[in-house]
C-alpha cells in the first residue's frame, strides 16, 4: 500500500488499483476501529482492498494493511476511504495542511 500526498490530491495505490482523492472533496477524517460485517464483505488476511461493508459506517473503499483496526477513515462528498499509513500522526498533519489550502 502506498499513499502519496501530491499537489493535486491524495493518491491511494496498491499494485494496479489506484484512487485519487481531491483535497477539496475531503470533508473529514478520524482514526477508528470499524465493525466488520462478515455476511456483507470478504477480506484477505493482512490487508483490505476495495469496497467493504462495515456495520457502523456502511461501504468503505479500503486501501489498508488491516481489516478494520486503527483505520484512518477519510470521508469525502461521495465515498468513504480507509487507509493505514505507517506514521499516522505525520500523515494527518500533512493531510490537514493540504486540505486547508
* Residue recorded with cell 484512518: 72
Instruction: Label residues 53-75 b or e (16+ Cβ within 10 Å = b).
Output: bbeebeebbbbbbbbbeebbbbb
Q: Read off the pLDDT of each residue in 9-18 and give the average, rounded to a whole number.
A: 95
Give yes or no for a contact between 67 and 50, defined as CB atoms under 8 angstroms apart.
no
Count of positions (residues) in the chain: 101
Distances from the Cα of 17 to the Cα of 32, 50, 61, angstroms: 23, 9, 11
Residue 43 three-state SS: coil
Tell me what pLDDT residue 37 has.
Answer: 64
- The grid coordinates of residue 84 equal 493505514
- pLDDT tens for residues 18-43? 999 999 999 999 999 888 765 545 55
Q: Domain coordinates of the chain in residue numbers? A: 24-100
Q: Would you say residue 67 has pLDDT above 80?
A: no
Amino acid at each position: 500500500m502506498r499513499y502519496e500526498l501530491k499537489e493535486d490530491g491524495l493518491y491511494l495505490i496498491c499494485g494496479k488499483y489506484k484512487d485519487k482523492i481531491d483535497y477539496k472533496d475531503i470533508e473529514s477524517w478520524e482514526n477508528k476501529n470499524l465493525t466488520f460485517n462478515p455476511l456483507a464483505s470478504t477480506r484477505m488476511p493482512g490487508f483490505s482492498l476495495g469496497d467493504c461493508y462495515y456495520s457502523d459506517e456502511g461501504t468503505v473503499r479500503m486501501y489498508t494493511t488491516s481489516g478494520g483496526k486503527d483505520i484512518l477513515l477519510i470521508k469525502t462528498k461521495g465515498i468513504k476511504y480507509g487507509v493505514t499509513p505507517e506514521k499516522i500522526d505525520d500523515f494527518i498533519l500533512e493531510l490537514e495542511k493540504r486540505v486547508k489550502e
